[in-house]
Chain A
Amino acid sequence: MTADNIRKPRTISRRQFITDAGRGVCGSSLLGLGLAGYAKQSQSLSAQCLRPPGALAEEDFLAACVRCGLCVEACPYDTLKLGRMFEPVTTGTPYFDASLIPCEMCEDIPCQTACPTGAISPELESINDAKMGVAVLIDRETCLNVQGLRCDICHRVCPLIDEAITLELERNTRTGHHAMFIPTVHSDVCTGCGKCEHACPLEEAAIKILPREIAKGELGHHYRWGWIEKDNAGGSLIDEVLDLPDRLPDGGSL
């Protein structure tokens, strides 16, 4: 190439423009379609992966997190990790696996302070209000306490002992004269920190942290518990019980 055969900058004809634009739109749409499929798939978080305390709901979190890792570097216990490609968590987003390193529930919530975008919401004021997931005694068949033994470890390591996990007495029908101390999780208090799952002495924990959407049922919104309504109203909502006559087979009544 020399200076002589340098062309003038082309003025683009309409035909050329439409061809180029068509190519661009088609090419990028095709790439976009593939990417959209991948994105849709990775929008659902694996049940093993928990988000940091205060993280927005998964869909909003994925729109907000810029994958900078500031929360990971702020975490003093190396709990948080960034997802790598082909791991069951969206690439580059922070998560933790409670069975490996649980959340230590720092009172100053350093991961939240570090987040520049609000993906870890600044609205979480106390770490005790965090809802990273919820502990579920998922396998009663292996839980030592349910067999009537006094393991109690999950209960004792719980940062909110006797609030998030209580031991509820049940009769031990196997021995007939002992009590069983059943670890019972109260989901309104449990933060999902994962210390119980991490501490469970079984080969595979009988108590596990699950995402709240998976662990929790949801009442029909029209549904009311009669006894609560009764308490709220200060008395029965029905004036008096209808007393229908009890008819006997021979035609008489009581």
Chain B
Amino acid sequence: MKASVGQEAIEQKGWLGAHKYLLLRRLSQIGILSLFLLGPLYSIWIIKGNLSSSLLLDVVPMTDPFMLLQAFAAGHIPELTAILGALIVLAFYFIFGGRFFCSWVCPVNIITDSAHWLRRKLKIRTSTKLSRKTRFWVLAMSLVLPVLLGTMAWELINPVSMLHRGIIFGMGLGWIVILGIFLFDLLLVEHGWCGHICPLGAFYNLVGRYSPIKVSAYQREKCDKCMDCFTVCPEPEVLKMPLFGENKGFGPMISSADCTNCARCIDVCSQDVFKITTRLPIKAEVKQ
């Protein structure tokens, strides 16, 4: 591995150019948090609630569909407001890519990205092997438990809702859980939480199976195999075939629903191999 990931990209595009999407993502994550905080801190009520359920401008309800699914599983038929809110959120993430949530909205992403950054800086190579399918089992568990117990068991420890709620309403000892995730990602498993365990990520993976907005390695013939994109990608498996699978008949579209559309690969590529694109025109090209 080279000393600095994305060095060529920085030389090529400048520091800002090589961090464009990273900065935009941080802006989005912190911006969303700030909007939620404006109310309780300064009584500017643009959006109320938290990511579990919120009300935008006192009109638009938004509800975490995974949370609502747990409520259903626990045997509660929610009011129409929550169902409508969940449909709005589902529609949004269906369009922008299911795991768009993970990289552009979820506050835990900042924690786990920091852990990964530090992991690279400290050159921690060891990583316990854990299947990336684990999250689907955790997802199944978090939906079976409410059926058996009649209560949303996963929400007792869900760090995603806990962090966002905690920042707005007070964290208490919840910081322990967040610190736990940070250390888990730093020391035990690379991309451990977001890439292996988080059932919300698994849920949005399912939501985004057919999302139209995707990253594409549209200039893959220009790839110089510097592997920087693999280093920064939270789900490096998704890059393999679109980048190198041409002779096996794979298209350049990063079609895996594991991809979070974080676009960090676009940032670190000095050869401009990647771009954000939509599924539909690419399909049309193939037909021609």
Contact = CB atoms under 8 A, between A and B. Distances in A.
Contacts of B131: 20, 23-24
Contacts of A69: 49-50, 52, 165, 168-169
Given A60-B76, A84-B172, A2 B157 contact: no
Given A32-B141, A73-B39, A91-B156, A63 B49 contact: no
Interface in B46-82: 48-50, 52-55, 61, 63-64, 67-68, 71, 74-79, 81-82
Nearest to A39: B153
Nearest to A42: B156
Interface stretch (A114-122, A157-165, A173-181, A222-230): A114-122
A36 B140 contact: no
A187 B173 CA distance: 37
A74 to B, nearest CB: 8
Contact of B68 (A66, A70, A87): A66
A69 B54 CA distance: 9
A23 B131 CA distance: 10
B240 A35 contact: no
B17 interface: no
A63 B169 contact: no
A29 B145 CA distance: 10
B145 A35 contact: yes
Residue picked from A40, A70, A72, A90, most chain B C-beta under 10 Å: A70
B152 A63 contact: yes
A74 B53 CA distance: 14
A68 B55 CA distance: 10
A62 B151 contact: yes
A2 to B, nearest CB: 6
A55 to B, nearest CB: 13
A20 B133 contact: yes
Interface residues of B, number: 68
B52 A68 contact: yes
Given A1-B230, A68-B49, A87-B172, A39 B138 contact: no
A233 interface: no
B50 to A, nearest CB: 6
A8 B248 contact: yes
B141 A117 contact: no
A148 interface: no
Nearest to A31: B141
B252 to A, nearest CB: 14
Nearest to A91: B156
Nearest to A63: B74
B134 interface: yes
Given A27-B137, A68-B54, A116 B79 contact: yes
A167 interface: no
A25 B136 CA distance: 10
Nearest to B243: A3
B31 interface: no
B108 to A, nearest CB: 15
A69 to B, nearest CB: 5
A254 interface: no
B78 A64 contact: yes
Contacts of A251: none
B107 interface: no
A31 B156 CA distance: 13
A171 B166 CA distance: 54
Given A38-B156, A69-B169, A72-B169, A31 B52 contact: no
Given A3-B225, A68-B54, A86-B173, A63 B75 contact: yes
A82 interface: yes
Contacts of B225: 2-3
B6 to A, nearest CB: 18
A235 interface: no
B53 A24 contact: no
Contacts of A6: 240-241, 244-245
14 contacts: A6-B244, A8-B248, A24-B133, A36-B148, A36-B153, A62-B152, A63-B152, A67-B50, A67-B161, A67-B165, A68-B52, A68-B54, A69-B169, A118-B82
Given A38-B157, A66-B82, 12 more contacts: A32-B141, A39-B151, A62-B152, A64-B76, A66-B68, A67-B155, A82-B165, A82-B170, A84-B170, A84-B174, A116-B61, A118-B77
